[in-house]
Amino acid sequence: MGFLEDDIMTLRSYPLQKTQNFECILPDIGANDPTLVSRLVQTVNYNDYVMSDVNSMMYGPNQAFFAGSMKIEEFSITFLETENQDVKTYINAWRGLIIDNQGRFQVKLGYNAGYARTVTMNYMDNVGNTTNLLLLSNSFPLGNNALELDYTKSGVQRITVRFRTDGLIPGSSQS
């Protein structure tokens, strides 16, 4: 066999991460069962580490650029919605820890006084063992997409919620 065939055979025998082998574990915020809401997760999108700022410095006639801090700041989760609106109830209860009924920030709580929680991502192998554990620390919901109600379509309602996070903390494998 040639080099290409050898590479293909090696890849076929190597266990590759599948996109559907993940579990998103949402925090308990005191409303709706977080396990139920976690089971309604369809997709999770987060970017890789990005440069939060690039600094520059002058060395005589030369200018040098160097990296600032690197972090993940936002991610989104798309849920299937139930007829009882379990996801909406959960997200609204989480927002209720941040803002009051008039939509104002509850200053008395201050930053991270109970509303910023950890969202856990488990990557799993084909038999369900955790191969990688990622923690999205100090996360909280920012907003969600507009709900599309449409008589011309039939399908399951999906809700995409944007979250803010302080960063991604790699965990340890549990397998």
Residue 54: inside a domain, yes or no?
A: yes
The pLDDT tens digits of the residues spanning 106-134 come to 655 555 567 889 999 888 877 777 778 88
> Confidence band (pLDDT; 50, 70, 90) for 52?
very low
CATH of the domain at 101: 2.30.110
Domain that holds residue 70: 21-170
Looking at the domain assignment, is residue 7 inside a domain? no
- Per-residue model confidence (pLDDT) at position 174: 45
Which range among 36-40, 98-102, 105-109, 138-142 shows the weakest confidence by mean pLDDT? 105-109
Alpha helices, H only, the chain: 3-13, 34-39, 86-96
pLDDT computed for residue 163 by the predictor: 92
Four-residue CA torsion sign, 153, 158, 164, 169 = negative
Alpha-carbon distance of 122 to 174, in angstroms, equals 9
Number of separate domains in the chain: 1
Distance CA 4, CA 119 (A): 41
* Distance in Å from the first CA to the final CA of the chain: 35
Instruction: For the full predicted model, state whether its pTM sits above 0.85.
Output: no
Spatial distance between the Cα atoms of 115 and 109, rounded to a whole number of angstroms: 9
